[in-house]
Structure 1
Amino acid sequence: MTVMRVERRDHVVELTADDRLTFGRARDCTICLDPEDTGISRVAGAVAYDTGTWWLSNVSETRPLSTVDDLGFRSVLAPGRRVAVESLTKVLVDGSHHRHGLTLTPAATTAPPPAAVTPAPGTTPTATGAEVMISAADRLAMTALFMGYLEDPPRYDPHPKDYAAAASRLGWPRTTLVKRIEYLRTRLDAAGVPNMRGFNALANLAEYALSRGLVTREDLAALPR
């Protein structure tokens, strides 16, 4: 039974629990990324099943890997480390010539929904901003600004777009986009959501929107071509 799917462009490898996949510069890797690019380790990483879990391992002695979770957040996987793969995960491998990407998709598993947590009597619930209404225009504005988090490699870029570029993609005046996002941040701040003001407020809004599912990869289809 196939329990892990690994994709690179049009190359798809389906793994079972008895398989081990390697990727890197070496031609004898399961997936050879670029045999001429010495910026990639001969064997950069491996995907294997162990003790009931799929793991991505960085088997290089010198080069880090990057992982991107299903929300679009990036993490660094240092040499010699491994990380469990429990949901769709993208792997980024930087070479001297190009950035290469793999997509790991474990078989869907059914788990019971998390139990609702009821605040103890006399306590104040954590502010999440759930009461702030997000309009279709708000969602479109955030999608244009944060699309880099949602794109596949090589277009993946975990930073907000500049206002001018995002407004141009939407066909809006820059001031319209700025005012909409500032009003959204003001409402979230008033609802108790932290870090909606200050120097890094736009990146904090991106993290909030992605982690709450306010914008997803499916929203990219709504952007004007």
Structure 2
Amino acid sequence: MTSALSVEFCGERFDVAAGDTFVVGREGDLVIDDNPYLHRRFLVLSEDGGLWWVANEGSLLSATVSDGSGGVQAWLPPGGRLPLVFPTLTVLFSAGSTTYDLTVTTSGDFYSPTGAPLPQSGTTTIGAVPLTSSQRLLIVALAEHVLRQDSPGRGSIPSSAEAAERLGWPLTTFNRKLDNVCEKLSRVGVQGLRGERGKLATGRRQRLVEYAVASRLISHDDLPLLEREQQANGEFSPSHG
């Protein structure tokens, strides 16, 4: 029998009984907010074949689903569906300039990251990606509001101009470094950072934050880097990397 499931968002916990369906969106069981960029019915949690599944019923937005350690993650595009095969999962998605994250927990028998492979829907196991100091700074600046959350919820993603100002960098420098880090991650298999015909995706800042937070590429412990960079900019020009 499928076990019960719980969803945590902004300090609230929602318990879902086996056999029930749980809808996340502007309307449903978990009403995120009145963000006009968010689908009315976006993510749907339901059980099938003895497993809980998450389905993306939106037409435009994607989500990032990660196991509790960040070692395994999947990109869930519109129309995609994934089984929840770990006891704790983080689900991140962006609508407009806001990124949301949910924690989903359940109990029962699960796959191991080193055991049977997950059913594919953009699933990826990517090892540690080496970042230059300036690339790490850039990602932390974009993810700052998400990282400062005390519990799963919502955080705004700054524009490139706002993030560049936060770091004390020229906008042209910031955009060049953003292009470089997106290219680096795309080459190792991170989806959603590249558009069609080799072009970078227009929503790459949001997808970059989702991936970096879900995979633990950056964490709350990296936030002091922003203050150090601001202090250093009083005496030094930013390094290039």
**2-structure distance, mates of 1:160, 1:114:** 40
Over residues 50-86 of structure 1, what are the superposed CA-to-partner deviations in whole Å (9 max), with x where a residue is unaligned? 22433222335xx3332124359884622x4423344
Over residues 87-128 of structure 1, what are the superposed CA-to-partner deviations in whole Å (9 max), with x where a residue is unaligned? 533243637xx746241433475737469xxxxxxxxxxxx9
One of 136, 151, 174 as aligned partner of 1:143: 136
Structure 1 residue 223 corresponds to structure 2 residue 219: no
**2-structure distance, mates of 1:41, 1:104:** 19
Contact 2:98 2:156 in 1 (8 A): no
Over residues 135-184 of structure 1, what are the superposed CA-to-partner deviations in whole Å (9 max), with x where a residue is unaligned? xxx67544312223686343358x9999955754xxxx88xx99xxx9xx
**1-structure distance, mates of 2:31, 2:54:** 16
Contact 2:64 2:76 in 1 (8 A): no
1:56-135 aligned within 5 A: 56-60=54-58, 63-70=59-66, 75=75, 77-78=77-78, 80-86=79-85, 88-92=89-93, 94=95, 99=98, 101-107=100-106, 109=110, 111=112, 113=114
Instruction: Please name the residue that 2:29 is paired with.
Output: 30
Contact 1:65 1:77 in 2 (8 A): yes
Identity of aligned residues (%): 17
Structure 1 residue 51 corresponds to structure 2 residue 53: no
Contact 1:5 1:105 in 2 (8 A): yes
Higher radius of gyration, 1 or 2: 1
TM-score, length-normalised on structure 1? Answer: 0.50
Superposed CA RMSD in Å reads 5.1
Contact 1:18 1:49 in 2 (8 A): yes
Gaps of 5+ in 2: 117-125, 147-153, 191-211, 228-241
**1-structure distance, mates of 2:216, 2:80:** 32
Q: Which amino acid aligns with 2:137?
A: A
Contact 1:2 1:107 in 2 (8 A): yes
Contact 2:35 2:95 in 1 (8 A): no
Structure 1 residue 201 corresponds to structure 2 residue 180: yes
Q: How many residues align?
A: 174
Following TM superposition, where does structure 1 have runs of at least 4 consecutive aligned residues deviating by more than 6 angstroms?
159-163
Q: Which amino acid aligns with 1:68?
A: T
